[in-house]
Amino acid sequence: MSFRNPVKVLLLSILSGFILLSSAFGWEESQDIAYRLKWLANTSTVGDLYADARGMFAENGLKVLVKPGGPERDAIKELELGRAQFGVASADQIIRALSKGAKIYVLAQIFQVNPLQWIYRPDKSPLDKPADLKGKIVGITYGGIDENIMKALLSKYRISESDLTLYSVRYDFTPFYQRKVDLWPIYRNAQGPIIGNKIRDAGEKIDYFDPDAHGIHTVANSVITSEEVLNHHPQMAARFMSALIKGWELSMDPVNAEKAVQTIRQFDRDTDEDIIREQLALTRQFVKPRKDVPFGRIDVPAWKQTEEMMVAQKLILRPIGIDKYLKQAK
């Protein structure tokens, strides 16, 4: 075959492009269900992993591919592009997407209390009340939910941003280790035992500043699906959610703690079992803070507060009426 003819080359290129695009956008038929997590497989995803590894999806007649997430992987986009049928996203991501016309629904809220807190050294930076933040150097991820939470807290307690120094944080904790920053945002259940233990091992005291304890109730990881799945495959969605809730219930039951630890170890071989045990105990407090709270309950007031916070900070132009998009899975 000759490639000298430029028209032929162009046509071939266009054809190859279409083939690549069609596979990239998942136009091919697939029987599998893809479930995109928000973050890497770790203790924060224990229920999802448990449902997968212990056969709960299979028991409900589903073949589910659980895909780890990451900073550049957005479950909402994957739902729209048809690469996933279910996913996990945080409330701010979901509200932002809905404000831009995404057709998605929330089926369950995994974390009843947002595990995002700030780690600090109480001897260096005593912190009893929000007003004590004045004069401190506080780490925030610009553009991240922790920025919104901190700004909402400052606004609630009438603390001006000029009363403290906001420090832009990244993945690396070095500035906190080096004491350049007083408070550093951290996921209490997943990162707390690792970072906290490291600092304690160095002979330093640590504590956590919890915005939830000061009235900033925001929503973290929640399970979402697309309008298309909910309208056209409601039975499949119900079976998926039933298996997922069961996975979370069983993995959070202290009786199954060792099974849960071993399940996490299958996917996360880099974290010590003792750390995972500690993470698991902490995760339980955020997923099921009280006995009367059912797994996956959607905390409507917390969603509304998150939405109000985003409107106040001009992250969305106008309220979207978030309750319309909350479809509690039975």
Partner 1 sequence: MLHKRIYQFLIVYAVGLSVLFLVKYGLNLSDYVIPPPKEVWITGQKYWLEYLREVLDTLSVAVFGHILSILLAAVVAVIGRLTNWVGSFIKMGAYNIQSYPIVAVAPIIFILFGDGIAARLLITVMICYFPLLLSFIGIFSEPVYHIEHFYTATHRLTWGLSLRIRVFENIAKLVTVISGSATVAMVGTIVAEFIAADDGIGYRIRIALYQSDLSKILTALFLIGICTSLYLLSLEYIGLRIRKRPGISAGSFS
| Binding interface with partner 1 (CB under 8 A) | 21, 25, 71-72, 74, 76-77, 80-81, 93, 96-97, 100-103, 141-144, 168, 170-172, 174-175, 178, 315
Single out the residue of 213, 294, 293 nearest to residue 246, CA to CA: 294
Single out the residue of 188, 172, 214 nearest to residue 120, CA to CA: 188
Buried b (16+ CB within 10 A) or exposed e, 54-78: bebbeebebebebbbbeeebbbbbb
Give me the residues paired with residue 207 across strands.
Answer: 120
Give me the residues paired with residue 65 across strands.
Answer: 34
CB of 25 vs partner 1, minimal distance in Å: 7
CB of 122 vs partner 1, minimal distance in Å: 25
CB of 10 vs partner 1, minimal distance in Å: 13
Residues 115, 90 contacting (CB under 8 angstroms): no
Collect all residues with Cβ–Cβ distance below 8 Å to 143 and sequence separation of at least 6: none
Residue closer to partner 1 by CB (options 167, 267) is 167
CB of 42 vs partner 1, minimal distance in Å: 18
CB of 96 vs partner 1, minimal distance in Å: 6
CB of 17 vs partner 1, minimal distance in Å: 9
Residue closer to partner 1 by CB (options 82, 122) is 82
Phi-psi region of 127 (alpha: psi -120 to 50; beta: other; left: phi over 0): beta
CB of 139 vs partner 1, minimal distance in Å: 12
Burial level of 237, CB count in 10 A (0-12/13-18/19+)? buried
Residue closer to partner 1 by CB (options 157, 177) is 177
Buried b (16+ CB within 10 A) or exposed e, 268-294: beebeeebbbbbbebbbebbbeeeeee
Residue closer to partner 1 by CB (options 11, 24) is 24
DSSP 194-216: IIIHHHHHTT---EEE-GGGGT-
Residue closer to partner 1 by CB (options 29, 128) is 29
The whole-angstrom separation of Cα 115 and Cα 3 is 59
Residue closer to partner 1 by CB (options 226, 279) is 226
Residue closer to partner 1 by CB (options 143, 289) is 143
